[in-house]
Amino acid sequence: MKAFIIDRYGKKAALRATEIPEPELGKDDVLVQIHAAGVNPLDLKIRDGEFKMILPYRMPLVLGNDLAGVVVRVGSGVQQFKAGDEVYARPDDNRIGAFAEFIAIDQRSLALKPKGLTMEEAASIPLVGLTAWQALVEKANLKKGQKVLIHAGSGGVGTLAIQLAKHLGATVATTTSTANVEWVKRLGADIVIDYRKDDFEKVLHDYDVVLNSLGTETLEKSLRILKPGGKLISISGPPDVDFAKSAGLSGFLKLVMRLLSYGIRKKARRRGVSYSFLYMRASGEQLRKITALIDSRVIRPVVDRVFPFESTPEALAYVETGRAKGKVIVKVK
């Protein structure tokens, strides 16, 4: 099958097209012919080697962390899916590979595609939808009447998180550039901070939750807008001890995570708030809940551009510019 791979880690590691064998099926696996794949900042971070300490991938590696497609065949233990089903998924961390014509996915990580979405629209949902769900529903336990700041509201995670937070009944603030202010308001944001003109730290106060996807400076400033008992959740790091435990990492790596997050955790404690790192996990069960929200038109996909499969390297380069509004997709079939 055709696939795009990297041969080594590094910012200059190029995606290259090649032929590789179709994946083998375990008894709980589903073989999916990929019709469309999402392109995410996570693909860049994996390429650059940012997670090689906790996710030691073997090279060559097929990138790609979410997809939509059609079931080709299923393993002997699969009962939920059959050939011909239209599905979507975020594969498990150790089984990524959506920049290819086929992928084998554990049935527990898979869900039926929302009927009203195209393959390209469906492929835009899994990674960012699950990230928003696990941050706002699981970690934050966001409630009606609470206030949440979602950084980078025009990005892939931001566009979904704004919609989910509004559905949960929260007051939603977000940061974005001048060109996207009115656009994120239409997504549901109540307060929009144009970061080119204003400092969110001077405008917002007494917030219950911050969802951070930006750098260290933004992370530390976010602490200062939280009320006592507030929660700072970051998907851009630094990773913490709870993450190391949930990922089953070694004692040495738990120590490393403790040291990496020591500074921000200490500053959070001083302000009476909490810090936690989120590295989202695959979940077909949660995807089905997100599907219900899509079917009821609570959440809608936001697709910036669709590239042909042969232009996957260009799609990744476009994501790297940081200018995408919503998700970037490659059309595989």
In sequence order, what are the residues at sequence separation of 6 or more whose Cβ sits closer than 8 angstroms to the Cβ of residue 185? 192
273 in the same domain as 131: yes
Give the pLDDT mean for 106-119. Answer: 98
What pLDDT sits at residue 307? Answer: 98
Q: How high is the pLDDT of residue 53?
A: 85
pLDDT exceeds 90 at position 169: yes
Tell me what percent of the residues of the chain surpass a pLDDT of 90.
94
122 has pLDDT over 90: yes
Whole-prediction pTM: 0.96
Residues 100 and 197 in one domain: no
Q: What is the pLDDT of residue 311?
A: 98
Nearest to residue 104, comparing CAs of 9, 16, 20? Answer: 20
Residue type, 48: D
132 and 266 share one domain? yes
Q: Which of 328, 316, 327 is closest to 46 using CA atoms?
A: 316
Residue 272 falls within a domain, yes or no?
yes
Lowest mean pLDDT among 53-57, 61-65, 250-254, 325-329: 53-57
Return the closest-CA partner of residue 84 out of 114, 125, 51, 112.
112
Tell me the per-residue pLDDT of 193-234, one tens digit each, with 9 for 90 and over. 999 999 999 999 999 999 999 998 999 999 999 999 999 999
Do 164 and 132 lie in a common domain?
A: yes
Quick check: is 294 in a domain? no
pLDDT at 237: 84
Task: Indicate if 74 and 176 belong to the same structural domain.
Answer: no
Residue ranges making up the domain that contains 18 = 2-123+301-331
For residue 291, is it within any domain? no
Do 64 and 95 fall within a single domain?
A: yes
In a domain, 293, yes or no: no
Whether residues 119 and 12 share a domain: the answer is yes
116 and 135, same domain (yes or no): no
Indicate if 217 and 307 belong to the same structural domain: no
Are 6 and 19 in the same domain? yes
Lowest mean pLDDT among 116-120, 135-139, 202-206, 240-244: 240-244
Same domain (yes/no): 6, 139:
no
Do 230 and 208 fall within a single domain? yes
| pLDDT at residue 81 in the model | 98
**pLDDT of the residue at 213:** 94
User: Taking residues 131-146, what's their average pLDDT?
Assistant: 98
Residue 288 domain flag: no
* Chain segment 236-257, per-residue pLDDT in tens: 989 999 998 988 889 999 999 9
Q: What's the domain count of the chain? A: 2
Inside any domain, residue 248: yes
Q: Which pLDDT does position 247 carry in this prediction?
A: 85
- Which CATH number belongs to the domain containing residue 59 in this structure? 3.90.180.10
* Residues above pLDDT 70, as percent of the chain: 100
